[in-house]
């Protein structure tokens, strides 16, 4: 793996739980009287409270973006990008990373207890939209004393939250960094999500979403959903380079055991996902992806939606990403130009596919570093 250069670790981090006691009206019409968000922060908030950066996570992400929990072996999911001297430089920025509402890593979600019923929410947890997440994150910002983010940054589904932030709460975002994202997902993407959901819903251990009460998890369904996802996160070329079609053994075994490297990779990814992720949250996250369409609120005009925004934008896409292809990022850029918004767009030459947005590719990190260094200068960080 190529390295993007210097930078240290934020070290040991301790997540904190933030109670949001302000009622939240959701797009589905339901009301959450209160909710909790689990949050990590890195760096120091300056006296002017002008140097805060929000990280929005993608489908399976969480609040643990950088540093280490105790003696864990692997750091947070975006540790290569967040830290002292790294592109999102914690010497200058106060970085806030949360597990979204509906998540399964400590924020209020399907696997937590509904205080009104005393039962685990399970399938009764409301379906959410990206707009709901932005409202919830807006309440979090207020609670943390942050009136305006120096930047809101996210990849994939995280990038969708960034766009929605800039449109819905325009005065609270100075810079919007949208990475490997799309203005709405394609029918092909919805189709992948639907297969993933059907895998979970048809697992006999799903029990209508009440599997917690049966002491089981719909592991087969969740595993399949994740295996499918991983196919779409990699390019054909990357899969070929990584796994080829070599048999693991000298001769075919003529059965359905793992025989090819790619099978073993997918099974491993599926298996490890079951240990750390909740099936109801997976269903909810994929629906939020499917529902995302900021243009819908503006007569299907993305240009009109972006006219609301006041932020400056950086849009980044990866050449080998077919799940959220560069053409989709160009749609975002076109709408921003037509709306008269300041925007820069970088197309990073890459080979892995959608997963490249998590990789420390030198050109990618250079663009982020240059952009964010100006943001830091601008906000006096």
Partner 1 sequence: MSANLDLDTGIGLRPDLQLIAGWIKPGSRVLDLGCGDGKLLDYLAQHRGVHGYGLEIDTANVAACIARGVNVIQADLDDGLRDFETGSFDYVLLTQTLQALQRPDEAIEEILRVGRSAIVTFPNFGHWRVRQALLSGHMPVTKTLPAAWYDTSNIHLCTVADFDALCAARGWRVRERRLLNRAHREGWSIRLAPNLFAEVALYQLRGRLGS
Catalytic residues: 156, 321, 354
The distance of closest approach from Cβ of residue 149 to partner 1 in the complex, given in angstroms and rounded to an integer, is 18
Least separation in angstroms between CB 329 and partner 1: 10
Closer by beta carbon to partner 1, 306 or else 371: 371
Q: Residue 161 CB: number of other CB atoms within 10 A? A: 29
Cβ proximity to partner 1: between 27 and 338 the closer is 338
Nearer to partner 1, 267 or 374 (CB): 374
Angle between helices 130-143 and 279-291 (to 10 degrees): 100
Q: Where are the alpha helices (DSSP H) in the chain?
A: 130-143, 157-168, 187-201, 219-233, 236-243, 261-276, 279-291, 302-307, 326-338, 362-378
For the CB of residue 374, give the shortest distance to partner 1 in the complex, in Å. 5
- The Cα–Cα gap between 182 and 164 comes to 12
Nearer to partner 1, 210 or 334 (CB): 334
CA angle, 60 then 101 then 276, to 5°: 35
DSSP characters over 298-317: GTT-HHHHHHT--SEEEEEE
Query: How far is it between the farthest Cα atoms of the chain?
Result: 67
- Footprint of partner 1 on this chain (CB under 8 A)? 314, 330, 333-334, 337-338, 340, 342-347, 349, 363, 366-367, 370-371, 373-374
Q: Tell me the C-alpha to C-alpha distance, in Å, between residue 326 and each of 68, 130, 166, 189, 318.
A: 33, 21, 21, 15, 6
Min dist. Cβ of residue 153 to partner 1 (A): 15
Supply the minimum distance, in Å, between the C-beta of residue 172 and partner 1. Answer: 21
Which tokens in the block code for residue 278? 């909740």
Q: Which alpha helices (DSSP H) does 150-255 contain, by range?
A: 157-168, 187-201, 219-233, 236-243
Of the two residues 42 and 371, which places its CB atom closer to partner 1 in the complex? 371
């Amino acid at each position: 793996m190529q390295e993007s250069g210097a930078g240290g670790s934020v070290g040991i981090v301790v997540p904190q739980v933030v109670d949001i006691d302000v009622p939240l009206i959701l797009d589905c019409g339901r009301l959450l009287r209160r909710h909790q968000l689990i949050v990590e922060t890195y760096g120091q908030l300056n006296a002017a409270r002008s140097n805060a950066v929000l990280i929005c996570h993608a489908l399976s992400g969480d609040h643990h973006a950088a540093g280490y929990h105790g003696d864990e072996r692997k750091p947070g999911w975006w540790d290569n990008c967040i830290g002292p001297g790294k592109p999102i430089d914690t010497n200058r920025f106060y970085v806030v990373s949360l597990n979204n509402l509906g998540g399964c890593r400590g924020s209020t979600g399907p696997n937590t207890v509904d205080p009104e019923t005393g039962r685990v929410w399970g399938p009764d947890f409301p379906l959410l939209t990206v707009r709901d997440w932005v409202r919830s994150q807006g309440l979090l910002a207020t609670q943390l004393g942050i009136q305006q983010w120096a930047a809101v940054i996210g990849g994939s589904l995280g990038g969708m939250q960034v766009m929605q932030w800039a449109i819905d709460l325009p005065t609270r975002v100075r810079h919007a960094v949208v990475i490997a994202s799309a203005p709405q997902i394609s029918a092909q993407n919805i189709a992948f999500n639907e297969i993933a959901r059907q895998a979970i819903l048809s697992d006999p251990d799903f029990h209508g979403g009440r599997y917690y009460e049966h002491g089981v998890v719909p592991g087969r369904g969740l595993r399949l959903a994740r295996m499918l996802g991983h196919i779409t996160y990699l390019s054909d070329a990357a899969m070929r380079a990584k796994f080829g079609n070599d048999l693991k053994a000298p001769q075919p075994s003529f059965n359905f055991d793992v025989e090819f490297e790619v099978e073993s990779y997918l099974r491993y990814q599926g298996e490890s996902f079951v240990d750390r992720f909740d099936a109801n949250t997976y269903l909810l996250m994929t629906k939020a992806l499917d529902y995302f369409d900021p243009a819908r609120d503006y007569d299907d005009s993305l240009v009109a939606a972006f006219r609301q925004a006041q932020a400056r934008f950086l849009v980044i896409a990866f050449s080998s990403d077919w799940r959220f292809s560069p053409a989709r990022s160009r749609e975002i850029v076109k709408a921003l130009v037509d709306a008269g918004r300041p925007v820069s767009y970088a197309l990073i030459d890459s080979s892995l596919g959608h997963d490249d947005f998590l990789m420390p590719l030198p050109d990618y990190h250079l663009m982020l570093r240059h952009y964010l260094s100006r943001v830091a200068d601008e906000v006096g960080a």
